[in-house]
Structure 1
Amino acid sequence: MKLAVPERDPNATPRRLLLLAIPAIAVGILAALVLWSVDAIAGALDGLLWTTWPDALGVDPSGWWIVLVLTTTGLAVGLALTFVPGHGGPDSATTELTPPPMKLSALPGLALVTILALAGGVSLGPENPVIAINATLIAAILARLLPQVPGQLAMLLATSATIGALFDTPVAAALIFTGVVAAVKAGGSLWDRLFLPLVSAGAGAMTMHLLGAAVFAFDVPPYDSPQAIDLLTGSAVAIGAALVGLAALAAFPWVYRAFHAMRHPIIVTTVGGLVLGLLGLIGGPITMFKGLEQMGELLQNADDYDGAQLAAIAGIKTVALLVAASALFRGGRVFPATFIGVALGMLGHVLIPGLPLGLAVACGVLGLTLVVTRDGWVAIFLGVAIGGDITLLPVLCVVVLPVWLMVTGAPEFRIQPPAPAPADPSATHAPPGPPEATSAR
């Protein structure tokens, strides 16, 4: 049988792709610099809040200080959302990974509340707000300097560049946008359409690497000898992690409604910060922050945790993620979800000692992130990236199948924003119920 070769996109000539590669590289570098700047400022403030000031005051940063800092962080975020122009951008609980561009005036406020949340220990990652900042900023720059670059392409380059910078590799962006590009009905070669996003993603990843950013890789024992039984035990861990994710998904609208019943942003974020502080006091610093460094700490000291401790860490982090996402804090859900997946994978290894640690962790990450991202490629990528072992790939490609059947009919892991009021003032409305997690299906 002869396979059909897709027709070439007439706009994707080698000369045009080469010319556009130059701004694509610039976009990648700029996106990485924005991410690095946000991380650097948040890291400096983190050092003040959790090291310098506690040392100067002679207090234990793992005790009541956690409650104080997170409550104060909530108050500061609430004040910023109320009084800073742009009000911190859209609620992260209602946005996708690739939101539409905002007004430029909203970017400083969004950056401020993101930095406060990252430094204060809120259980959210930087991905959603930094992608929003980069997409808005780059779309505006290209519209002014290179108006011939379509706005949709500018958004695509900015998003892929930020994803490449976040994970220190362009592979994640390629996998994410493979699904996006495949959904386009305009025809043409897939790789012609992926060429420029990959250029931006590669430039972003290399820039972060050259700036010395933390590498998205961890010290996990290699998975040397795949066994048939690993398909069964690995699937059990992935399914268990997915069930935890689905339970969190079911609770998300109710937690969101409970916090938003308080109405005023300052009250919502302050109470949210207090709750996060109490959770941090119970679970310790390892259950706080976006989760990247904490994943490394958890895996490095894997032998120090028993099943009950790992279950508690995963449970507390899950609650912290729901609270942080519901209480108007700006941030993404992928990084904390990956941490939860690591903890659940380690728990699976404790419960099934014959299951290698690397595979158990990869399956836990796959199951949890598949619920949160609803993207099988990204879930597989994160599982392999955490385990750092390409040998995991064939097993994960099988394990993902039953988990996908579980999650494919569930709604997305975000809150559907309220619909605008109808123009007809005489229109009647049913009483509002709890907000629902949205579904694109």
Structure 2
Amino acid sequence: MPLRDILRSRGYLMLLLLSAVLGAPIAFLAFLFVSLQHELQHAVWTDLPEAVGYTQPPWWWPLPALLLAGLILVPIVTRFPGGGGHRPVDGLGGPPLGPEALPGVVLAALATLPLGVVLGPEAPLMALGSGLALLAFGAVKRSAHPKAGLVLAMSGSTTAISTIFGGPLVAVVMIVEAAGLAGTQLFVLLLPCLLASGVGALVFTGFGRWTGFSTGGLSLPSVPADTTPDAGDFLWGVPVAVLIAVIVLYAHRIGTVTARWTSLRTGPRTVACAVAVGVLIAAYALITGRSPTEAALSGQAMLGTLAADPGAWPVAALLVLVVCKALAWGIALGGLRGGPIFPAVLLGAAMGVACSGLPGLGVTAGLALGMVTATAVVTRLPVTSAVLAALLLGPDASNQMPLIAICSVVGFVTAHLLEGVGRRRGVSREPGAAPEAGAATSP
């Protein structure tokens, strides 16, 4: 059917209206979810240590915190409908979770993410948005109009995830690139997502200002000095991007192995995964003498701290952070619940800043290439990765765009080439890897 006829149809106009109406309540509930998660995280890693006499969490703090996270997660994964959400190693894909899975998703995220499971809130947020949209649409209407239900589910997911990406742009670009559609199909999906996320962003921003609550979204309040990339940035940038892609991809493969391991005897092995994550976080704090918070959480706040003052970080500490967090992230991908993107962005940024001491490679260039490469590897969405890196860098983005574009492609191509090598050697593709461009978020 021509696009003009679709836009004039009564059913599609009702779908647009419903998307706009759902945008506000979904954004409000997403705001409450993210704010509560951030407050619980602050209580666990700041208020409670101070209450017992520590200026910062001691090195052993992650051990009981992650043990508790594993014990909480076991009954959710084994008994709740939906198992607390998709496994993070599977990416942000899979069919939309229905309303019956919402209690498990919300409880798993609010009970374990603040305890330091090294995962982000993006996957639970998307599940929350799609589940609420389908709940509003109704089971009867979904069965009568399955395509409309899928579009509304994607609109709800886009609305929810746009709350932590600073607005609808990144979320909508992600949906467009992930769907892999063209022509009429693209606009049929795009318009409800854009409308719902735009309304939701307005509501979310308003509540953030009125209440004063922090949501811990992915942002860089301060960035290194703006510089124009030179030959040294590109000569070093491409091999550094390849190195970052290898690190992120092989950490992700740990998640694949862990997911297979936890598929049997899920209860005790889920606890074992959580304890292993706690040991790696504690090892980072013990080796570096720094706060375990830097390695424990999803990475939003840590990314801002790193970008604001990269010179305050010894290279050795950054390298230990990359090793410990990459291993912990890989284990968490297969055994715990949460989102895979935010920790990967921090891993790339930390490795990029650590390599910025190479002759000719600047700090701003290292930060930019690290973020975009890691995001491209974990999402397999190079355009979305470039847009996200550009928005995070703000005024610095215009000068860094050539390097961002090149390293986004380098990360994407490197990941696919390494996967091809793995398949030829008999290693199956990771569950989270998109079989086609964009499968990461398509329903």
Fold similarity call, TM over 0.5: yes
> CA–CA distance in 2 between the matches of 1:251 and 1:333?
13
- Does residue 135 (structure 1) correspond to residue 142 (structure 2)? The answer is no
Q: How far off its partner does 1:311 sit? A: 1.1
1:306 aligns with 2:308: no
Show the 5 A alignment for 1:112-151: 112-143=107-138, 150-151=148-149
Q: Which range moves more in the overlay, 120-129 or 385-394?
A: 385-394
CA distance in 2 between counterparts of 1:304 and 1:260 reads: 42
Task: Say what the alpha-carbon RMSD is for the aligned residues.
Answer: 2.9
Aligned to 1:402: 410
Q: Helix, strand or coil for the counterpart of 1:116?
A: helix
| Whole-Å separation in 2 of the counterparts to 1:113 and 1:403 | 31
Contact 1:291 1:335 in 2 (8 A): yes
* Equivalent residue number for residue 415 of structure 1: none
The correspondence for 1:25, drawn from 6, 11, 20, is 20
Matched, 1:216 2:218: yes
The aligned counterpart of 2:33 is 38
Report the alpha carbon displacement of residue 395 of structure 1 after superposing the two structures with TM.
Answer: 2.9
Distance 1:51 1:224, change over 3 A: closer
Q: TM-score, normalised by structure 1?
A: 0.83
Is 2:82–2:97's contact at 8 Å kept on the other side of the alignment? no
Q: Tell me how far 1:178 sits from its aligned partner.
A: 2.3
Q: Provide the rounded CA distance (Å) in 2 between the counterparts of 1:40 and 1:91.
A: 22
Q: Residue 175 of structure 1 aligns with which residue? A: 173
Q: Distance in 2 between matches of 1:145 and 1:214?
A: 37
Aligned with 1:161 (options 153, 159, 165): 159
Unaligned 5+ segments in structure 2 are: 209-214, 285-291, 421-425, 437-443
Comparing 397-406 with 69-78, greater Cα deviation is found at: 397-406
2:37, 2:113 within 8 Å by CA — same for their partners in 1? yes
Deviation at 1:129, TM superposition (A): 2.0
Work out whether residues 341 and 365 of structure 1, in 8 Å CA contact, stay in contact via their aligned partners in 2. Answer: yes
Which of structures 1 and 2 has the bigger CA Rg? 1
Structure 1 match to 2:351: 344
How far off is 1:380 after superposition?
0.8
Q: Distance in 1 between matches of 2:179 and 2:99?
A: 28
TM superposition shift of 1:222: 4.1
What's the CA shift string for 1:304-356, capped at 9, x where partnerless?
212221111111111111111122x210100111111110111121234x323
**Higher normalized helix content (fraction of residues):** 2
Relative distance call for 1:104 and 1:192 in structure 2 (3 A) is: closer
Alignment partner, residue 287 of structure 2:
none
Q: How does 1:210-249 map to 2 (within 5 A)?
A: 210-212=206-208, 213-214=215-216, 216-218=218-220, 219-249=222-252
* Contact 2:89–2:333 (Cα < 8 Å) also in 1: no
User: Given the alignment, which residue of 371, 381, 388 partners 2:377?
Assistant: 371
Change in Cα spacing, 1:65 to 1:340, as seen in structure 2 (3 Å) is: same
- Report if the CA contact (8 A) 1:252-1:326 is conserved: yes
Counterpart residue type for residue 190 of structure 2: L
Quote the residue 2:305 is aligned against.
297
After alignment, is 122-131 or 100-109 more displaced? 100-109
Q: Name the CA distance, whole Å, in 2 between partners of 1:208 and 1:358.
A: 30
- Percent identity over the alignment is 24
Matches within 5 A, 1:58-73: 58=53, 61-73=57-69
Deviation for aligned residue 1:109: 1.7
1:402-424: CA deviation from partner (whole Å, max 9, x where unpaired): 33332234559xxxxxxxxxxxx
The code of the aligned residue for 2:271 comes to T
Work out the number of aligned pairs and report it: 409
